[in-house]
Structure 1
Amino acid sequence: METSDALQTSHRHPSFRILWVLLSILVLVIVGVLSGLVPRWHHQQQLYAEVQSKGLPRVSVVHAKPASGSSRPVLPAEVKPWVEAPIYARISGYLKQRFVDIGDHVQAGQLLAVIDAPEQALELTKARAQLEQAEAALGISRVTAARWAELLQVNGVSEQDAAEKQADFKLKTAQRDSVMEDVRRLEQIQAFTRITAPFSGTITQRNIDAGDLIVANGGKELFHLAQTTKLRVLVQVPQQMTKGVEIGQHAELTIPGQSGRKFPAKVIRTAGVILPDSRTLPVELELDNTKGEILAGSYAELRLSEMKTGNVLSLPANALLFRPEGPHVGVVENDGKVVLRKVQIGRDFGQSMEILSGVKPEDRVIVNPPDSLSTGALVSVTSENQPEKHPEKQADKQPRQQPERTS
């Protein structure tokens, strides 16, 4: 029995070894084949991708970024005088003398100029003479009517004659009153020869000089008066930002050339309607200028406080495609295909545009897209700017410092 078991074991060992040898050779062959085919396959894929990319249009893409100053946007504003008025002549004549020039500060009622109107003076003199004549005639009529009334008591005159004298007295009284009103009218017109300031302010324009012919209601402005101790700031707020504007809201005003100084202002009124041509809300602010540091008529930049505009994105201006349906952008999908999306434009920052809707921060938007770009076109992306992360998210991802352990 032992001899037979030994013979069987001796026959099994060679067959087992031969099987292991064959399996090892097979594994080596498979490894050799794979080591040669895999690099070749990768090389073919790279070559295919390179050929495909060279045949496709090359584009650069960017990601939409948060609009700078979206929470407190800067708006262009216009500074106006608090009160201003053009001053015209109400009487014709020649300018006899002027007493002020541009830049002069005047008080309400101060004399600015005098107009020489000789025809008007002659009419006033004539009217006054007629008034004296009418008063003299009225005096005689009064005495006559009184005497005839006394004679009527003693039956010295008839009632008809006494009534005629009373009627004549009333007629002379009416004539005197009419001439007196005419004199008052001419005196008021004569007062227009003195040009006075309607309110306190500064002379900003002077369009006449001594000896000039002045025509009443001729449309020529003599002076322009402005009150600049308090200024009026006018700003057009875009429609999407109107919900953040309230009466009494504070703002900061900056003037170009004022070395970054900020002037406080306050919202005092709004128009209450959106202008259909510009889709903006007219807003008026009040600005104190007691020290005269701001010139009326200046261009300014206004930043309203505590404005809630939401998460507003911006894109380069050269990323927009203007089509008859409206502005579009080209977005590259993961498979390299282009999708045209319609966007809503907000404010124009010059080199960039505010995008209110249509794109997301993770979208790859084509820069300088060709006019022939259409949905479904294949492109090759050459460069890509990574999207900016929200500051709060970045702060959350910052590693926290572990507290120091004291031994």
Structure 2
Amino acid sequence: MKKIFAVVLIAVLVVGGIKLVKTRKAQLANIAPAKVLPVVVDTVTLEKKPVTLTLPAMGIVATDLSATLSTKISSRVKKVNKKEGDSVKKGDLLATLDASDLVAKKQGLSLKRQSLGFEINAGRENIKALESSFASARETHSRTDELLNVKGASMEQFRGEEANLAKIKAQLSAAHNTISVLKKNQEALDQNIKEVESLITYATIIAPISGTVSKRMIMDGDMTGPGKVLFQISAGSGFYINLFLPDSVNSHGIIFHGEKLALVPKNQATATGLIQYIAALSDSTGFVEGQYVNVQVVVYQGETSLLPMDAVLNVGGATFVYVMEDSRAKKIRVTIVARGSEGLVVANDLSGKTIITAKPDILLRVSTGVPILISENQKETVKTDLTQPARQG
């Protein structure tokens, strides 16, 4: 009896469970599926036009014409004629140093040279006298030689005259050698005088360029020495922008105050590997040496379509854009040519196409096929196929 009751209870439970499952399935079948919320995006229609892409950078205004003035002599400053901030022209007198010691040295050397000149003139007169004596002695010796042949003169007289001729000849040679030595001494003095004269010029400090006195390192009565900086003059021309860029930036120009300037590499790099470039400035810019300036480095120029930064999605090392085509979002892989502050350009020809612009997380949802709600004015809903991702180009 108990067994029959257990079997009946189990059968009732099974039948009841089956009915409960069927009822639950029917209820679930009648429930509407959850709605997929659309994503709101912007669109932009691309057109081909002149495009310039730039990157921001900072440069330094410099010039090769500025001058740092020093002297080669140790002296006292007699008078300083210019102060910091004064405008100077090339050739203006900036300061005068005491050169009295050098002037006295030059006068002493000049006196020595003059004395050598007197000795040289005396030597020349001596040579003339010796030459005259030599000529007279040679004539006498010739007559003695003739008399010796006819027994009219003795051999002792003949030989004595020969010895006298040799003596005069030796005196002439010595006189010539003395004059040669005196002339060499005179040349050495001339060189010393030129060196002193050159040093005297360093006692007069002249502006080598036109510009502004940016530093004055001396005062009246100060002592100076070789290599000591006296003045610094900032040039008023020859300015250029000094720029340091990584080798990944390939540029041939910059935009500065709305003007495009040519960028010239100096074929040298810094310790950090940055390549140095310069861009010439006009003299009327109003900038000063050492001033930092903001510039835009031109990285691309051409006739193409400009894409906003929010138009591309990077996935797995590849770059994609989403083009509205037949009321659907079509994913197209693109190759980026250049990026800049203004946007980017790609190798693909996208002119005339309408592309979606949104943040990366929104573009990822677009790629899954969710409905797209286009903003702008039309507020049009474009439905995509919910059963598959957006089509790939």
Is the structural similarity TM-score above 0.5? Answer: yes
**381 and 127 in structure 1: CA distance in 2 versus 1, 3 angstrom threshold:** farther
Q: Which moved more, 1:340-349 or 1:187-196?
A: 340-349
Q: Report how far residue 362 of structure 1 moved.
A: 1.8
**188 and 281 in structure 1: CA distance in 2 versus 1, 3 angstrom threshold:** closer
Could you tell me how far apart the structure 1 residues matched to 2:355 and 2:266 are? 36
Matched residue, 1:186: 196
Which residue, 205, 209, 232 being the options, matches 1:223?
Answer: 232
Matched residue, 2:215: 206
Matched residue, 2:286: 294
Confirm or deny that 1:311 pairs with 2:304: yes
Q: Which moved more, 1:209-218 or 1:275-284?
A: 275-284
**254 and 357 in structure 1: CA distance in 2 versus 1, 3 angstrom threshold:** same
Q: Report how far residue 109 of structure 1 moved.
A: 0.8
Aligned residues: 303
Matches within 5 A, 1:319-398: 328=319, 331=322, 341-349=334-342, 353-357=343-347, 360=350, 361-369=353-361, 378=368, 380=370, 384=374
Deviation by residue 1:59-96 (Cα, 9 ceiling, x = unmatched): 74554767998479899897958873222314154672
Q: Report how far residue 315 of structure 1 moved.
A: 1.4
**185 and 314 in structure 1: CA distance in 2 versus 1, 3 angstrom threshold:** farther
Could you tell me how far apart the structure 1 residues matched to 2:354 and 2:288 are? 46
Could you tell me how far apart the structure 2 residues matched to 1:274 and 1:152 are? 71
Q: Report how far residue 166 of structure 1 moved.
A: 1.3
Q: Report how far residue 223 of structure 1 moved.
A: 0.7
Q: Contact 2:83–2:216 (CA<8 Å) still a contact in 1?
A: no
**98 and 329 in structure 1: CA distance in 2 versus 1, 3 angstrom threshold:** farther
Which residue, 104, 116, 140 being the options, matches 1:125?
Answer: 104
Give secondary structure in 2 for the equivalent of 1:345.
strand
Matches within 5 A, 1:59-138: 60=41, 62-63=43-44, 70=51, 84-93=65-74, 96=77, 97-115=79-97, 122=101, 125-126=104-105, 128-138=107-117
Structure with bigger gyration radius: 2
Could you tell me how far apart the structure 1 residues matched to 2:96 and 2:244 are? 42
Q: Gaps spanning 5+ residues in structure 1: where?
A: 1-43, 246-250, 256-264, 388-407
Q: Report how far residue 178 of structure 1 moved.
A: 0.9
Q: Report how far residue 159 of structure 1 moved.
A: 0.8
Q: Report how far residue 301 of structure 1 moved.
A: 6.8
Q: Which amino acid aligns with 1:295?
A: F
Could you tell me how far apart the structure 2 residues matched to 1:332 and 1:70 are? 21
Could you tell me how far apart the structure 2 residues matched to 1:346 and 1:339 are? 18
**252 and 385 in structure 1: CA distance in 2 versus 1, 3 angstrom threshold:** same
Q: Contact 1:79–1:231 (CA<8 Å) still a contact in 2?
A: no
Matched residue, 1:30: none
Matched residue, 1:195: 205
User: RMSD of aligned C-alpha atoms?
Assistant: 5.4
**47 and 103 in structure 1: CA distance in 2 versus 1, 3 angstrom threshold:** farther
Could you tell me how far apart the structure 2 residues matched to 1:383 and 1:214 are? 81
Could you tell me how far apart the structure 1 residues matched to 2:311 and 2:76 are? 62
State the TM-score, normalized to the length of structure 1: 0.54
Could you tell me how far apart the structure 1 residues matched to 2:179 and 2:329 are? 109
Which residue, 127, 139, 143 being the options, matches 2:118?
Answer: 139
Confirm or deny that 1:149 pairs with 2:149: no
Q: Contact 2:321–2:333 (CA<8 Å) still a contact in 1?
A: yes
Confirm or deny that 1:165 pairs with 2:146: no
Deviation by residue 1:342-370 (Cα, 9 ceiling, x = unmatched): 42333324xxx333545835222441449
Could you tell me how far apart the structure 1 residues matched to 2:278 and 2:125 are? 72
Q: Report how far residue 235 of structure 1 moved.
A: 9.1
Matched residue, 1:40: none
Q: Which amino acid aligns with 1:364?
A: I
**227 and 347 in structure 1: CA distance in 2 versus 1, 3 angstrom threshold:** same
Could you tell me how far apart the structure 2 residues matched to 1:73 and 1:67 are? 18
Matches within 5 A, 1:219-258: 220=229, 222-228=231-237, 254=257
**279 and 135 in structure 1: CA distance in 2 versus 1, 3 angstrom threshold:** closer
Q: Report how far residue 311 of structure 1 moved.
A: 2.9
State the TM-score, normalized to the length of structure 2: 0.55
Higher relative contact order (CA 8 A, sep 6+): 2
Q: Which amino acid aligns with 1:189?
A: L
Could you tell me how far apart the structure 2 residues matched to 1:240 and 1:60 are? 34
**240 and 272 in structure 1: CA distance in 2 versus 1, 3 angstrom threshold:** closer
